[in-house]
Amino acid sequence: MSLEALYQEILLDHYRRPRNFGVLKDADVHEHGVNPLCGDEIEISLKVENGRVADVRFQGKGCSISKASASMMTEAVRGKSLEEIREFVDEMEKVLKGEKEGDPEQLGDLEALKGVSKFPVRIKCALLAWKVLEQGLERAGGGTGEKETT
C-alpha cells in the first residue's frame, strides 16, 4: 500500500484547512473524546433543530488522519437526522475497518479515508471523531425530547 493511497490529496487538504473548525457557543451537545494511545483529542459541538443537525463544529489536536476524518465528518452530517447519522456512523466504522466497500456517492470526500483500512494502527485515528459523534448523539437522544416518554 503506497503512501499516496493513504495520504490522498483531498485528505491532506482537509488536514491543512479543516472545515467547520471551532466551537458552537449555543450548541445542544458538546462531546469530548481522546485516543489515549496517541493523545489525540477532539471536541465536537452540535446544534440540533427538529431532530436534524443544524450546525456542527470540531476542534482538537491530532494527526492528519484524525483531523481530516473529523473535518470530512462535519461536512457529511449537516442536515441529517440523528437516526440517519447513527446509521452513517455504523457504516463508516465498517468502511474504515475494511469490512464494507461503502457507496461512493454517499461517501463523497470520505472516500479518501478508505486507504486507512490498510493501515491497522491508524484506523483508530480515523474513527475517533465518529466515536465521539456517536457518544454525543446518545446524549442528544436524551436531550431533544426523542426519548422523553415518561
What residues line the site for another protein (CB under 8 A)?
2-3, 6-7, 12, 15-17, 37-41, 61-65, 119, 122, 125
Residue number, 62 or 136, with CB nearest to another protein? 62
Q: Could you give the CA distance from residue 70 to residue 130 in angstroms, rounded to a whole number?
A: 7
Q: Is the dihedral of CA 65, 66, 69, 75 positive or negative?
A: negative
Residue number, 7 or 139, with CB nearest to another protein? 7
Q: Could you give the CA distance from residue 138 to residue 36 in angstroms, rounded to a whole number?
A: 21
Instruction: Give the nearest distance from C-beta 53 to another protein in angstroms.
Output: 28
Instruction: Give the nearest distance from C-beta 37 to another protein in angstroms.
Output: 7
Instruction: Give the nearest distance from C-beta 4 to another protein in angstroms.
Output: 9
